[in-house]
Chains A and B, each alone.
Chain A
Amino acid sequence: MPTNAPAALSDVTASDGALRRFLHGLPGVDAVGLEARAASLGTRSIKTSAKAYAIDLAISMIDLTTLEGADTPGKVRALAAKAVNPDPTDRTTPHTAAVCVYPDMVATAKAALNGADVKVASVATAFPAGRAALDVKLADTRDAVAAGADEIDMVIDRGAFLAGKYLKVYEEILAVKEASGSARLKVIFETGELSTYDNIRRASWLGMLAGADFIKTSTGKVAVNATPANTLLMLEAVRDFREQTGVQVGVKPAGGIRTSKDAIKFLVLVNETAGADWLDSHWFRFGASSLLNDLLMQRQKLATGRYSGPDYVTVD
């Protein structure tokens, strides 16, 4: 069977049984310890020049997202303009890492970006539920890539994962990875639906074994999205994976991160867990929309000394 797994781990994906043994053989997660660790890292006080650095870094890591049924070409163009130039009153503001849209909006986004150094990420594979036949998911993916997507955000089949059909999930990720071609693949686990921390750890390893370039917490469409604890857990997974295989995988928390304070807490998690290698928009992203406005308001506050307000940033 085909495999993307690095040599050191090639045997674990040899069969359904081997994969199950490997994933269930991962150490169990100490939930209390994990949450306490995430909470204690969240108490770090980041001020003045460090804060300014963190805010600019966070802006440069944002996948500026619009995933609504009501998305219009106009809204996507506005989003793209904002991604390139988040604060027109201050040209020193960095641009965001990417815009994230549905596949049918990729072409619009690509045209609106007009060659700017902002990537176009597209959700695919029957986002957000992932409930469709593999052929449909692959067609969805190829569509997005053909329209010019630089990155593909796929969702895993949570039903299959929870039913223990790990190999099915693995093979699906492989197939989507192949369909994505040179586009970087982000694999969304929808951690809010995986019930346990153990499952999140297993999903992380499963995704990385299948060749994910990024592992991503959530779609933003369910009640529980990115939390410091589940992101910390995934950061530990990418750290351990690189230690074992030498392959570096990115992490993207998405959904529910709305304030600069939250974003900076996540950056602390990254630095303290995975390390400074991940403090780069190539390896860490925020899936967010309203977060950018809050970061811009904080940036204005640092620049002027006055608290800013929502009247001074765009509505969307």
Chain B
Amino acid sequence: MKSTVDADRLGVFKTYKLYVGGKFPRSESGRVYEVTDSKGKWLANAPLSSRKDARDAVVAARKAFGAWSGATAYNRGQVLYRVAEMLEGRRDQFVREVADAEGLSKSKAAAVVDAAIDRWVWYAGWTDKIAQVVGGANPVAGPFFNLSTPEPTGVVAVLAPQESSFLGLVSVIAPAIATGNTVVVVASEGAPLPALSLAEVLATSDVPGGVVNILSGRTAEIAAPLASHQDVNAIDLAGADEDLAKELETAAADNLKRVLRPQPVDFTAAPGTGRLTAFLETKTVWHPTGSLGASGSAY
């Protein structure tokens, strides 16, 4: 009996939506586009974001920046670790989506998802250590304590890698938010579904709304207003081809955005701290040692 019920049952399709400010809106434009697997078979419709979606996402990211950058590094680490915990629970779903999106076998897709989960844990550990590595006390010729500390750049627009739809995505989001930036992510144009599903994980992982905003659609269309946006402080061009990257870098120069140029990356290798430090600003304070120096103290 059970089998006949199953055979008659109509499957429930998932409506993939954007992730902006902790909510799941459709594109403001109402547009969608067809997403296919690596063999051209239809998988789902994904929202085709417009420049207004990009603008809304920047507003959400800016709003979230104060609290997220002000949270303790330890707290951010806990939240990032929580993302890994939630992902672990939905591992099978992501293995399926990554296999469909990238045309991988089940076992290869599983390896990719495991690496992505581990990457969250890796960056979770970095949140309260990066300041010691790239900051510190500087020796100066005068009676001063001179201390440098890294601070997050601000709102970072991230063009996620086009080929590595999930591991690549995590590898560009996690380092940016680990240090306290908030991000507007443009998902892989051809394979946006793992990114849109990741949004559901982020929404249930204590990541405050607006810290990560995920848009799907044509990378060139969404990236242009982000690159010229006066309230975006940095842009990661990982998912842009050479021509687009050049164009975007020119637009980004207008308000002196920090730009991370596209470069060949093996996302399965240990990532290093390059992406962590790409979106940091160094703040240096001079603090007089006061009377200690004047009194001839050896201190």
Report which A residues bind B (CB closer than 8 A). Answer: 300, 305-312
Contact = CB atoms under 8 A, between A and B. Distances in A.
A311 B228 contact: no
Contacts, number: 27
B interface SS class: helix
Interface in B60-114: 62
Contacts of B58: 307, 309
A312 B228 contact: no
B62 A306 contact: no
Contacts of A310: 62, 231
A307 B225 CA distance: 7
Contacts of B275: none
A-B complex: 8 closest residue pairs judged by Cβ atoms: A309-B231, A306-B228, A307-B229, A309-B230, A308-B230, A307-B55, A306-B230, A312-B230
For the side of the interface on B, what is the size category? 10 to 19
B281 interface: no
B206 interface: no
Contacts of B62: 309-310
A interface SS class: loop
Contacts of A300: 230
Nearest to B55: A307
16 contacts: A305-B228, A306-B228, A306-B229, A306-B230, A307-B58, A307-B225, A307-B229, A307-B230, A307-B231, A308-B230, A308-B231, A309-B58, A309-B62, A309-B232, A310-B62, A312-B230
Contacts of B247: none
Contacts of A307: 55, 58, 225, 228-231
Nearest to B228: A306
A310 B228 CA distance: 15
B221 interface: no
Interface in B203-225: 225
B34 interface: no
Given A300-B230, A308-B230, A309-B62, 20 more contacts: A305-B228, A306-B225, A306-B228, A306-B229, A306-B230, A306-B254, A307-B55, A307-B58, A307-B228, A307-B230, A307-B231, A308-B231, A309-B58, A309-B230, A309-B231, A309-B232, A310-B62, A310-B231, A311-B231, A312-B230
Contacts of B55: 307
Interface string B236-265: 000000000000000000100000000000
